Amino acid sequence: MIYIRTSFIRLHTLLQSANAAITSKSRLSLRNVRTMSSANRLDLSGVMPPIATPFDKDENIRYDLLEENINKWNKIPFRGYVVQGSSGEYMYLSKEERVEIVKRVRNAVPSDKLIVAGSGCESTRDTIEMTQRMADAGADAVLVVTPCFYKGGMTAEALTNHYTKVADASPVPVILYSVPANTGIDLPVEVAAKMCSHPNVIGMKESGGDVSKIGLMVHKTKGEDFQILAGSGGFFIQAMTVGAVGGICAVANVLGGELCHLHQLFKDGKMEKAVELQHRIIAPNAAVTRKFGIPGLKTAMDWFGYYGGPTRSPLVPLAQGQLDAMMKDFVENGFDPKK
């Protein structure tokens, strides 16, 4: 009996040693297998704000004020948060700042809320590196915007190749991101149709505003667990009508409760009330996006009890006439920050 026990202990020790000897590359491969097998089970339905990055007057990141905003947003039934989306001024941040913000948000957010991190860069190689770093920082998934500097070369073939390499290497699920107003590139439906079968690609954020395109993508990707997200609060209910599961909407930084209520009204089939609320959100949404951009969004956040603060240069504050026009867009639709 003593001999058997001793032999068992030696065998157990050998197994532990063998397990510890697995290379980091092998562990990463196993992690990728696990991720790809579970990626399609990550539910994106609901509302996620692409959160703004708070700066002080010297354009330094105020992590304390970021945490204050998060604590207020945590009271809203968001599905999660998008960190380093277009509203986060990520293109003005260093790599280290981008990763650090994700870490801070992850630490401030309950585990049941998703963290989706923007990891897109111009080159495939840099995107893969940033994706790994975002995963290490705590992101549950990554949002990968289309490369755009060499627009003429960003064919459907080039984009499919880019996203395939990123998804193959990513330790977390990948969400495609089309935002033609900023990039000048409208991610083709054929790319989504090809990428939807990749086991590590779970959906797409569509910000172009073409609801017929969203409907066509839903149709072309049916049979796959590929989730389409509206990229704007201005066409949120329209996108859900043709099959989108939720939205990543800049205006949710300000009117998060209202966007979540709109989503719930739609789910409950209360279409008359949903349409009425959607109509009221259109003008404020336009004000904090295409009309007045990030300076407008941050100003509105200041109005409604969050910290918006200044932007990083070269963006500049709004002029008084723009402020007055934006206030009108909110007040006339029943969103008065003074009440």
Lowest mean pLDDT among 16-25, 53-62, 189-198, 252-261: 16-25
Task: Please tell me the predicted confidence (pLDDT) of residue 125.
Answer: 98
Using the CB atoms, write b or e for 137-169: b if 16+ within 10 Å.
bbbbbbbbbbbeeeeeebeeeebbebbbebbeb
Cα separation, 223 vs 229, whole angstroms: 17
Written as six digits, the tokens of 171 are: 């330790």
Task: Please tell me the predicted confidence (pLDDT) of residue 235.
Answer: 97
Active site residue 165: no
Task: Please tell me the predicted confidence (pLDDT) of residue 222.
Answer: 93
Tell me the β-bridge partners of 175: 143, 203
Task: Please tell me the predicted confidence (pLDDT) of residue 8.
Answer: 32
Q: Is 9 annotated as a binding residue?
A: no
Instruction: Supply the Cα-derived Rg of the chain in whole angstroms.
Output: 22
Task: Please tell me the predicted confidence (pLDDT) of residue 339.
Answer: 83
Task: Please tell me the predicted confidence (pLDDT) of residue 2.
Answer: 36
Output the CA angle 264-269-116, nearest 5 degrees. Answer: 35
Task: Please tell me the predicted confidence (pLDDT) of residue 40.
Answer: 42
Q: Which helix (H) or strand (E) holds 83?
A: strand 80-83
User: Are the C-beta atoms of residues 81 and 51 closer than 8 Å to each other?
Assistant: yes
pLDDT > 70? residue 22: no
Q: Provide DSSP, 283-311.
A: HHHHIIIIITHHHHHHHHHHHTTS---PP
Selected residue with higher pLDDT from 36 and 339: 339
Average pLDDT over residues 95-101: 98
Task: Please tell me the predicted confidence (pLDDT) of residue 320.
Answer: 98
pLDDT > 60? residue 18: no
Q: Which of 113, 194, 205, 298 is catalytic?
A: 205
User: Are the C-beta atoms of residues 249 and 78 closer than 8 Å to each other?
Assistant: no
User: Are the C-beta atoms of residues 195 and 202 closer than 8 Å to each other?
Assistant: no
Closest Cα partner for 229 from 99, 4, 43? 43
Q: Which helix (H) or strand (E) holds 180?
A: helix 180-183
pLDDT > 90? residue 84: yes
Q: Which helix (H) or strand (E) holds 205?
A: strand 201-206
For 227, half-sphere exposure in the C-beta direction (CA atoms, 13 angstrom radius) is: 19
For 262, half-sphere exposure in the C-beta direction (CA atoms, 13 angstrom radius) is: 29
Task: Please tell me the predicted confidence (pLDDT) of residue 1.
Answer: 40
Strand 227-230 with 114-118, pairing: unpaired
pLDDT classification of 21: cutoffs 50, 70, 90:
very low
Q: Which residues contact 327 (CB under 8 A, 6 or more apart)?
A: 303, 337
Average pLDDT over residues 265-270: 98
Task: Please tell me the predicted confidence (pLDDT) of residue 280.
Answer: 98
Four-way CATH pick for 28-280: 3.20.20.70, 3.40.50.720, 3.40.50.620, 3.40.50.2000: 3.20.20.70
Amino acid identity, position 194 = K
pLDDT > 60? residue 316: yes
Active site residue 177: yes
Task: Please tell me the predicted confidence (pLDDT) of residue 29.
Answer: 38
Cα separation, 118 vs 144, whole angstroms: 6
pLDDT classification of 338: cutoffs 50, 70, 90:
confident
Q: Which of 81, 90, 163, 177 is catalytic?
A: 177
pLDDT in tens, 197-237: 999 999 999 999 999 999 999 999 999 999 999 999 999 99
* This prediction's pTM: 0.88
pLDDT in tens, 268-313: 999 999 999 999 999 999 999 999 999 999 999 999 999 999 999 9
pLDDT > 50? residue 35: no
Cα separation, 244 vs 236, whole angstroms: 9
Return mean pLDDT, the chain.
90
Q: Which residues contact 49 (CB under 8 A, 6 or more apart)?
A: 73, 78, 81, 82, 87, 248, 249, 250, 252, 253, 256
